[in-house]
Structure 1
């Protein structure tokens, strides 16, 4: 998980389930997510990223359109609300605004000629074109306008061309975008996504002389911006190789049609054929060979590829990562990229110490299993044996705690967790803070990533062993294996070569929230180095840590009661502190980790005797430096010849959209919701707090994402009704039941006014603000977006963005005195807060 809430791409990150702040083992990001991934930045900070420049010219004018150069100077108009009457418009209203000509009163979008300072009246508001220059390639529209939701901006530039020319432009947008050239619509994409360079390809027929370029960028939530440039030879080559690496045959054809050589290499020396081969897209390989790709062209070495790729990602004074690759017990390479401390300009080396988050879980699990081998406990022992007063402790076993199947609510997802994360705590006090929380489900019934379980295991370890968690690990693992640079992180200790944690927001780095790791305990309190983790993997998989039978049990995916009923898969899943998955036919055993400022990933392909370690000191990381993705890429680059081919990413045109309506609905991804919607002949899926992405049909019930390697199958009952969705990604599976929405009650708009106010969700530190907009009611929890709540009765409301309900309770006089919130099996009262009159 990334505890530092952020928008990343595309937010279906395998191996890091938000909001578990200590990371995860090879699981889907946001599996248990509360509303996540929203970056709210103060206006002053935003303004610091942008410079409004005064120029003699009254427009943003470019002489020619230089290849590869980003257009950073624009005339900007906005922000124009998507809806004048509704601050939280639905999909239909957003589509209507996207299709509408908001500049009709000024002559229309196709006819606009913008000049700096020129004023326009749109609706009841006055707007003016502002000349703005972005210091970054991505034009961040929250900088001049602040953080806005459901708004539109126009960006205008003029291009003087010495002669007519047909060019291919690279465009990225957050979110939807339209492009006009000289009054003609050249491109449109009603997307929900972060802005990434060159995501869309736009053909522009530029005329000699002046050309008018207009962009319409419509935002939904969170970040907002765009990035635009003419693609040159190198950027086209990079795009070509990228298309081959993702199996996008359509994009390949489009770029090759521009005259780009099929043998052109990208910045790191890979050709399209190299990329398609290593990624396993045999259909693309065949296509490239047919177009003249050289099958004998030399491929970069792993070292050359890794160094070139890191150089392209880690630039200037930036946090970075340490990486290690080993095979057959021999280190092939170890590297450090970027800086461990930006303030002191200390570079990262292979000796740099990083907090490793939930990779710690495999050490905790190994310690528990070591105690079992010593006859001091059993995984079948009840929790009540060690903590007698733990509620329902006689139903929970150590096996449940190890496999995330206990149903105990994860303390790191409590609303007020981050309020105290920097303050030290005693284990018994932290356990008291969550032990009386209602269970999320019955023990053994489901799988749900859970930091409470591993914190409890750390406490059990200390009680049984009669030693501290750190001392036990040191005595049994660290010292015998020569892991001299690994231990329990303590804020009072001074560590040599320790990395500082940073977060990457809005194109800049800042120090991340500094956890006191006593709050992580057995769930994620360790620090280590890439070489120490290599030593650990070598010892573990060579039988020097645990016995063969114990390892077999640890690497066996758990089967829940739900799995047994549905005949669930057994080759992939979570064991005792490790995630087991199949990567193109090869078994991977791995775990990831993450907390504010740090991300990590440790993988092993046991049959191939292959290890990769990636430790980073930025979370959210800069683009291209996610440890999970980087480790997986390294493994593919090294082992692709041993891997099975990938299935071609091609939608089945024979699937009729008529069946889409049966799939539309909401699906329970634990504490997040996947909402599936239909727009014409297209189907979209959106996880709570993330952008909306199109999903493509493989069959009538099987769909896939193009933007991430993930698939979803919609399961029907005997009556042909869709009852659940099975999501597969990163080797793991989510069984998400379809949510049956209660019928909505019809309430008079004035009746909603009684509920407007603030409700205390956590000792005054977490507050739910309820507001009314016409006939609609909205709720916003501290640090989260605002979401509409829908009435099921006069006093009961529910969210569509989460499986949650709230009931407003009145006193004898009819005054609302509290809200009773129900979610994930928990119910609690939130007193209404009295408004203070200034």
Structure 2
């Protein structure tokens, strides 16, 4: 009976994922396990479109920010050995770091994204700096040493810069490159032989290429020097099978004592622990309280997610090599529906995202036709399309139109986004930026101010307002 149930689940998962593939919402590999036993593992789509090579269960993918939990583990191993103090400061371990900040920010705050540091990934020149070779010290001094955006410990703000600094601290205390420490302390111990840190010009067997998919067109993403620029914040590659070995190790003391493993999963601000999100919730239809530890990863052309449910020791691991829209893809809907399948819960069938549906009407017709279509479909009682990602997708569509030189159409889409999502600071910020580029300075100022009203911490809006005010006040 158990075999029949597992086989039925496997068929249901396969059918579900194929629906996402048909909607151009997924290309990659999926693994599902219960108590360490694989109940489903399969690749979908192409690992390399130029060579028509298929994704398989042992394809290697860049995993982006899933790397952070490995970095956190390496720090906690140092803590367990008495070589680092979680309440110690950056300057205790990196003497070259600027003292006015380095003596304030603790290791705990770096791990929990409460350091007050900004994020180098949010820099306007990010795609320019990510092609160059740097040592960790060079990169930190140039791009991870800006003034604090908040007092340490005051609030949560996701920071790749913080985890980059943690990687440099690991190198300093171990007197070895991060990649070697990772291999020796975790990968070799667990037999994760198909995982590691990707190095510049390194050729890996069975490695997927990443792609952006934008309105029916596949393109290769911009080059990024992964090890030098992303480093301990997101520079790893792995297979789904290797990540299952990682999942199982977190139920044992192979890497860390149970006492210190508790630190890895202990939630801090915004339910973020150390490199892992932790969440307890009562799901209707289940007799137990689900305890999830999860994280997502995003690097250009790749997306990833690990979802672990502690109560029943279930693991859902999804690695993808297509980024729909170039920037926005959410693997949570796939993992959520798979979780429903393996727990006997009902779920809604996947739908085409509304902006993907309206795109051909804009690109092959007019922006007015597209917006009219959007508004009509939104009013439908039984909606044919998915609206949950509309804010991000409208934003992406606006920038795509700007890139195509269609300023008027872009402005119309950005404006629609502000009317649809009036509590989105980013929608107003993007609209203001487009208005500024179109020379509509007064309207731009109004919308930057609206963005700041929603999010007083929007440094981009504050900087642009300062610049525009200075320009408009000149004689």
| 2: CA distance, partners of 1:319 / 1:640 | 23
Unaligned 5+ segments in structure 2 are: 284-288, 349-373, 380-385, 390-422, 426-432
Larger helix proportion, structure 1 or 2? Answer: 2
TM-score (norm 1): 0.42
> In 2 relative to 1, CA 625–767 (structure 1 residues): closer, same or farther, beyond 3 Å?
closer
Q: Secondary structure at the match of 1:586?
A: strand
Which position in structure 2 is the counterpart of 1:394?
Answer: 103
SS state at 2:254 partner: coil
- Counterpart Cα distance in 2 of 1:422 and 1:622: 18
Q: Identify the match of residue 349 of structure 1 among 46, 56, 59.
A: 56
1:440 to partner: Cα distance: 1.4
What are the residue-to-residue correspondences of 1:679-694 with 2, within 5 Å? none
Q: 1:602 to 1:423 in 2, by over 3 A?
A: same
Q: CA 1:621 to 1:366, structure 2 compared with 1: closer, same or farther past 3 Å?
A: farther
Q: Residues 480 and 603 (structure 1 numbering): CA distance in 2 closer, same or farther, change over 3 Å?
A: same
Larger radius of gyration: 1
The aligned residue for residue 379 of structure 1 is: 86
Q: What is the aligned partner in structure 2 of residue 424 from structure 1?
A: 133
Query: Does structure 1 residue 580 correspond to structure 2 residue 278?
Result: yes
Q: Deviations over 1:166-207 (max 9, x none)?
A: xxxxxxxxxxxxxxxxxxxxxxxxxxxxxxxxxxxxxxxxxx
CA distance 1:465–1:416, shift in 2 (3 Å): same
1:70-97, Cα deviation, whole Å (9 max, x unpaired): xxxxxxxxxxxxxxxxxxxxxxxxxxxx
1:17 corresponds to which residue? none
Alignment-derived partner of residue 20 in structure 2: 313
Which of the numbers 41, 63, 80 marks the counterpart of 1:334? Answer: 41
Matches of 1:501 and 1:425, distance apart in 2: 23
Higher relative contact order (CA 8 A, sep 6+): 2
* CA displacement, residues 481-527 of structure 1 (integer Å, 9 cap, x when unaligned): 11000000113211000000001101221112232102101100000
- How far off is 1:621 after superposition? 6.8
Q: Give the deviation of 1:328 after TM superposition.
A: 1.2
User: What per-residue deviation string (whole Å, max 9, x for no partner) do you get for residues 760-792 of structure 1?
Assistant: xxxxxx99956655xx625xxxxxxxxx213xx
Q: 1:471: which partner in 2? A: 180
- Could you tell me which residue of structure 1 aligns to residue 414 of structure 2? none
The residue aligned with 1:515 is: 224
* Aligned position for 1:455: 164
Q: In the alignment, is residue 482 of structure 1 matched against residue 191 of structure 2?
A: yes
Match of 2:449 among 784, 795, 799: 799
| Alpha-carbon distance in structure 2 between the residues aligned to 1:552 and 1:344 | 45
Distance 1:449 1:577 in 2: 10
Match of 1:179 in 2: none
Which of residues 305, 315, 322 in structure 2 aligns to 1:601? 305
Assess if the C-alpha contact under 8 Å between 2:104 and 2:152 holds in 1.
yes
- Where does residue 534 of structure 1 map in the other structure? 244
Where structure 1 has 5 or more consecutive residues not aligned to the other structure, the ranges are: 1-297, 560-571, 647-690, 696-705, 710-735, 739-765, 779-787, 791-796, 806-820
The answer to whether the 8 A contact 2:6-2:39 is kept is no
Give the superposed CA RMSD: 3.8
Which whole-Å CA distance do the structure 2 matches of 1:303 and 1:514 have between them? 37
Q: Is contact 1:439–1:826 with CA below 8 Å preserved after alignment?
A: no
Give me the whole-angstrom Cα distance separating, in 2, the residues matched to 1:580 and 1:448. 16
Counterparts in 2 of 1:536 and 1:299: CA distance versus 1, 3 Å: closer
Larger strand proportion of the pair: 1
Q: Distance in 1 between matches of 2:15 and 2:148?
A: 49
User: What secondary structure sits across from 2:442 in the alignment?
Assistant: strand
Q: Does 1:408 align with 2:58?
A: no
Answer whether contact 1:587 1:606 (CA < 8 A) is retained: yes
TM-score, L = length of structure 2: 0.72
SS in 1 for 2:204: coil
CA contact (8 A) 1:438 1:825 kept: no
2:155 aligned with 1:499, yes or no? no
